Structure 1
């Protein structure tokens, strides 16, 4: 996983409550770190594309369907981490984020989060709006792969 493949990153400082008595980050917190990254990615995407929160989604939302994290080295209390994310794939109703959590140039955790675009009321998958895909394509410098298959959750 190459940092140069990510246009977006956000810093995050490890807090005391996220570490065990030895000062090592508990593994479950890395998913929270990735989630902070996703939130900040959307904020940066909105700023770059001029899209307001919820605009163009028309009663739909993205729901997490699958997560995978590979632990390579531990983060420690008070480390300054960089959470890198990029949309790596679009399906018809799903998309995948690649995640890289770094301390300086050391990759600590890599992973993938798959989201399904769905109606907020029924939670049934719906196609991702083309305007959203276009905004992501314009934002990223590594274009997402595209396929028509949805992730079933």
Structure 2
């Protein structure tokens, strides 16, 4: 996974979302609790959707579509700590009809703290069965792909 989001030769479209580490994110030692990283990654994916004009509630109401995490690989490289200002980056690696694979990284300044690959399944909100992305959304997501 290393280096895939910052390689200038790949021309990867990046999205970056800032977040601050609060007391509630940490353990007794002031280090971010491992499960909290998942929340940071989730928020960045939600904000990426929003930045591209797609609100999850709107997708659910108008297209009967929700996104759920199907698989996730996390590589914890260095700890984040209380009051750190972090950047959560993401790129879209692959879009299929009913799934999307994101590559994400968490940085403190230039220091890489975490790398992740997140496979998100597209489901019908009414049945929680796999559902193809609406064609315009699929085409848009495909345009963001960067292997």
Q: Same fold (TM over 0.5)?
A: yes
- Alpha-carbon RMSD across the aligned residues, in angstroms, is 2.2
2:6 aligned partner: 3
Structure 1 contact 56–132 (Cα < 8 Å) conserved: no
1:58 aligned partner: 63
Which of these residues, 17, 20, 26, is aligned with residue 24 of structure 2?
A: 17
Task: From the two aligned structures, give the one with the greater helix fraction.
Answer: 2
Structure 1 contact 60–119 (Cα < 8 Å) conserved: yes
Deviations 1:9-60 (A, max 9, x none): 010000011112221111111001101111111111117xxxx932896212
When structure 1 is superposed on structure 2, of 123-132 and 108-117 the one drifting more is 123-132
Inter-CA distance 76–6: structure 2 relative to 1 (3 Å threshold): farther
- Asked whether 1:68 is paired with 2:73, we answer yes
How many pairs align?
138
Partner SS for 1:46: coil
Structure 2 contact 97–138 (Cα < 8 Å) conserved: no
- Asked whether 1:130 is paired with 2:138, we answer no
Q: CA deviation at 1:73?
A: 0.4
Query: Which runs of no fewer than 5 residues in structure 2 stay unpaired?
Result: none
Partner SS for 1:77: coil
Query: Which runs of no fewer than 5 residues in structure 1 stay unpaired?
Result: 146-153
- TM-score (structure 2 length as normaliser): 0.83
Superposition map of 1:65-104 within 5 A: 65-104=70-109
Inter-CA distance 6–13: structure 2 relative to 1 (3 Å threshold): farther
Q: CA deviation at 1:134?
A: 2.4
Q: CA deviation at 1:97?
A: 1.0
Structure 2 contact 60–66 (Cα < 8 Å) conserved: no
1:150 aligned partner: none
When structure 1 is superposed on structure 2, of 85-94 and 66-75 the one drifting more is 85-94
